[in-house]
Amino acid sequence: MARRLKLGLAGLAAVAALAGHPAAASEKADRANVAAAIRADHDAAVERLRAWIKLPTIANMGLNHKEGAEYMRQLALDAGFQVAKVIPTDGVPGVFATLDAGARTTLAIYFMYDVKHYDPKEWSSPPLEGRMVDRPGEGRVIVGRGAVNQKGPETAFLTALKAFKASGIKLPVNLVLVAEGEEEIASPHFPQVISNPEVLAAMKKAVGVIIPSAGQSVDGQVTLELGAKGAVELQLISSGEKWGKGPTKDIHSSLMANVDSPAWHLIKALNTLVGDDGHTPAIDGWFENVKPLTERQKQLIAADVAAGNEADEKKSLGIKQWYAGEDYLTAAYRLASQPTVNIQGLVSGYMGPGGKTVLPGRAEAKIDLRLVPDMTKDEAVTKLKAHLAKRGFGDIEVNVSGGYGPTQTDENSALIKAEQATLAAAKISQTMSARSAGSWPGVIFTGPPLSLPAGSFGAGRGGGAHAPDEWFLIDSTNPKELGFDQQAGLFADFLYEVARSGKAKP
């Protein structure tokens, strides 16, 4: 068994001193008891994570919608939430839970319980097994779909709550939990969960919202993200039926000589969406409402780049250069500031081994759009449709399956200050990022009617999200990286910090 680090709640006196506000003796004792309970729960917690990995909820495949929601509800109750309910929507249900600790401050937590689909043939071990393997230089990790995105960090957070419960110690804050099973398809029905009157009333009491994360780099650094791009998931479909040209079914490829091709029709349409570089969006009016990076945001990005490792990042991505051969800092500015039009996949005709001489009657492009302030989902979709229609591609179906706008949180908010203080107390190196290029539905919290600060928080480490052999660090051998117990302990530390820095809301 790999050596477990003695960080987080284990070093209580040091933590209190570093935080600049020595804890009362009773709080130190409580936190020591919570730390002991986390350690005692280690093996059981890993088994809970493994059991959760074995139950994948996959929104776009209709897999385990009800089962995933009920499982999430029970996990909340087991962790100490007094009330947990499944909230129906027009799609996949959500989960809402509350924990009243009698505290003056309430924190909201966002979970996703869905995962991306997977191809077992691409994995070194079965993707739902949750196998423990050694990762050289880092320690023992659990491999499985959802291990780091997001079931591992979420299990660590719930483990912290279970430790309070097992110790008979009240949490320093009240909690409101909202969870969804459609994050991986851009949260099409999550607004229905939040707009539920009971959920909305509880959320309005919160001082902020976090999604648990495991974002440490290999050298132990954590980047606090102050925002995230918005995302729109859609499909562009070209068919002989809608076009009025070409076949309504697959026909012999020899007929390409005198029959129109819906597949080439789609390709021609796709080619208008980007410039000649195959990269820069060319949709009419696409950059009209794009808000440039502020000087402060550029400073944050530059500091984050200076603390990063370009070679390691390129290696992890499997690339040799950034777009147009740009330097690391310029590429980082572009990553944060440029909205994108991306082709996830192309589907048409025969997709099996070898060839099959057909002229397809249908072609589909799976597209995602990434949005930056001050763009909106509705604006992006409207402009895309108008762009296609103007160029003679109005017959191409635009099926939007989900989406939301970008999110941004003030670095001076109490939530971000609590995150910074918690990491500083644990001696974890940190930077801030102006905006994540990835997306999550944070705008549902930062936008009206809630207008709350929101962001991810956590240490720990993992990788392979959306990819084969997804993994999450359990027992760390690297003193700079937090293992599972220490990540759970950091979440407990964070709750105390929120209690100190947060303000009560009526």
For residue 261, give the CATH number of its domain.
3.30.70.360
Q: Are residues 240 and 184 in the same domain?
A: no
Q: Is 72 domain-assigned?
A: yes
Q: Are residues 127 and 187 in the same domain?
A: yes
**3-state SS string over 65-128?**
HHHHHHHHHHHHHHHCCCEEEEECCCCCCEEEEEECCCCCCEEEEEEECECCCCCHHHCCCCCC
Q: Nearest 5°: phi and psi at 289? A: -110, 15
The two beta strands, 430-433 and 471-476, are unpaired
Other beta carbons within 10 Å of 469: 19
Residues of the chain with pLDDT under 70: 1-24, 503-506
**DSSP conformation class of 24:** P
Contact 128, 145 (CB under 8 A): yes
Cα separation, 101 vs 173, whole angstroms: 6
Q: Are residues 369 and 495 in the same domain?
A: no
Look at residue 195 in the predicted model and tell me its pLDDT.
98
Other beta carbons within 10 Å of 115: 31
Contact 203, 106 (CB under 8 A): no
Cα separation, 109 vs 456, whole angstroms: 10
Q: Are residues 97 and 109 in the same domain?
A: yes
Q: Are residues 201 and 99 in the same domain?
A: yes
Other beta carbons within 10 Å of 318: 6
Looking at the 3D structure of the chain, how many domains does it have? 2
Q: Is 331 domain-assigned?
A: no
Give me the percent of the chain exceeding a pLDDT of 90.
91
Q: Is 2 domain-assigned?
A: no
Q: Are residues 379 and 241 in the same domain?
A: yes
Residues 6 or more apart in contact with residue 208 via CB below 8 angstroms: 107, 108, 413, 414, 415, 452, 453, 454, 455, 498, 502
Q: Are residues 253 and 386 in the same domain?
A: yes
Where residue 466 falls (left for φ over 0; alpha for ψ -120 to 50; beta otherwise) is left
Q: Which domain holds residue 376?
A: 230-290+339-404
Cα separation, 314 vs 337, whole angstroms: 20
Contact 189, 90 (CB under 8 A): yes
Measured distance between the N- and C-terminal CA atoms of the chain, rounded to whole angstroms: 48
Cα separation, 413 vs 92, whole angstroms: 32
| Helix (H) / strand (E) containing 456 | strand 454-457
Amino acid (1-letter code) at residue 413? S
Supply the CATH number for residue 220's domain. 3.40.630.10
Last residue of a domain, one of 381, 404, 427: 404
Q: Are residues 106 and 142 in the same domain?
A: yes
Q: Are residues 269 and 209 in the same domain?
A: no
Handedness of CA 335, 340, 344, 345 (dihedral sign): negative
- Under DSSP, is residue 495 helix (H, G, I), strand (E, B) or coil? helix
Look at residue 23 in the predicted model and tell me its pLDDT.
56
Buried b (16+ CB within 10 A) or exposed e, 147-182: bbbbbbbbbbbbbbbbbbbbbebebbbbbbbbbbbb
Look at residue 504 in the predicted model and tell me its pLDDT.
65
- Under DSSP, is residue 447 helix (H, G, I), strand (E, B) or coil? coil
Handedness of CA 212, 115, 189, 382 (dihedral sign): positive
pLDDT digits (tens, 9 = 90+) for 361-407: 999 999 999 999 999 999 999 999 999 999 999 999 999 999 999 99
Look at residue 13 in the predicted model and tell me its pLDDT.
37
Q: Is 172 domain-assigned?
A: yes
Q: Is 434 domain-assigned?
A: yes
Give the Cα-Cα-Cα angle 370, 444, 159 (nearest 5 degrees).
100
Last residue of a domain, one of 404, 429, 454: 404
Q: Are residues 420 and 397 in the same domain?
A: no
Contact 81, 177 (CB under 8 A): yes
Look at residue 502 in the predicted model and tell me its pLDDT.
73
Q: Are residues 239 and 147 in the same domain?
A: no
Q: Is 369 domain-assigned?
A: yes
Last residue of a domain, one of 404, 427, 443: 404
User: Which of 74, 305, 92 has the alpha carbon at shortest distance from 189?
Assistant: 92
Q: Is 297 domain-assigned?
A: no
Q: Is 323 domain-assigned?
A: no
Q: Are residues 185 and 278 in the same domain?
A: no
Q: Which residue has the tokens 């390709």?
A: 267
